[in-house]
Structure 1
Amino acid sequence: MRGLLVRLLLNTLALWVVSLVYPGVSFAREAGLLDYLVAGAVWGLANALLRPLLLFLTLPLNLMTLGLFTLVVNGIVLYLVAEATALQVPGFAEALIGALILSLVSLLLSWLFRD
């Protein structure tokens, strides 16, 4: 249970950091802490459930591009999360760049807060 809570907080922190450093990803002006936590939870669920399915369905494209299509899948997942939460991503190009930055921030946070 503790690991799940830590993962939720790290996802929320990563989304918040990306919204600070990249103007293409932001939260609604009236968003509060609960909205941030919901976005982090939806991001975690989407990465756990939706992302593996999309990666499996796009496996041939992923193999042909030597794994670079994974960035497109991450952008799709971020765009879908933005549609369901207070997170705002104006277009798919911003979702791609935001997904790249989010991956780097999540990697850094995972290194800092290892279990």
Structure 2
Amino acid sequence: MRRFVVRAVVNAIALWLTTLLFSLLGQADGVRVVAYRPNDPVATVLTFLLLGIIFGLVNGVLGTAIRIVAFPLYLLTLGLISLIVNGLLFLLVAWISSVIHFGLVVDGFWWGVLGALVLGVIGWVVGLILRPLSGRDQT
């Protein structure tokens, strides 16, 4: 359970840094997060945590199933198909959050691929920093 909570926090922090990076680069229209109550910092944090949980569940369940089924395609493309798969999973999280009328907003497929790429890199770095909290061994 502790690993799941830490992973959700890592996803939330990575998503926050991703949207912050896009807004600092002037590309706030590409990937952004809409809180369920605008201009409320607590609602914004809760929105990012909810999106971190949704992203973890989608990536853990559906992403794993896709990676297992599409293993030959991963081999054939030397892993480059993972960019497309991660972009589609990112767009799926955006669609799920649009159903509840707040959360992640992605303006197109290529924004989804770029957002997933940036989120993956930032999530990896944040995960390295927070790994001791999850109870995993350092080996």
Using structure 2 for the length normalisation, give the TM-score. Answer: 0.76
Q: CA deviation at 1:45?
A: 0.4
Provide closer, same or farther for how the CA distance between residues 56 and 2 of structure 1 changes in structure 2, counting only shifts above 3 A.
closer
**Residue of structure 2 in register with 1:67 after alignment:** 79
2:56 aligned with 1:50, yes or no? Answer: no
Question: What secondary structure does 2:131 align onto?
Answer: coil
CA distance in 2, matches of 1:3, 1:95: 26
The list of structure 1 runs, each at least 4 consecutive aligned residues, that deviate by more than 3 angstroms after superposition, is none
Q: CA deviation at 1:88?
A: 0.6
Q: Which has the larger radius of gyration?
A: 2
Question: What secondary structure does 1:26 align onto?
Answer: strand
Unaligned runs of 5+ in 2: 98-102, 133-139
CA distance in 2, matches of 1:111, 1:59: 26
Deviates more, 1:3-12 or 1:88-97: 3-12
CA distance in 1, matches of 2:61, 2:47: 21
Superposition CA RMSD, Å: 1.5
Aligned length: 115
CA distance in 2, matches of 1:69, 1:2: 31
**Residue of structure 2 in register with 1:27 after alignment:** 33
CA distance in 2, matches of 1:60, 1:94: 26
Question: What secondary structure does 1:114 align onto?
Answer: helix
String of CA shifts for 1:2-23, please: whole Å, max 9, x gaps: 3222111111001111011123
2:114 aligned with 1:102, yes or no? Answer: no
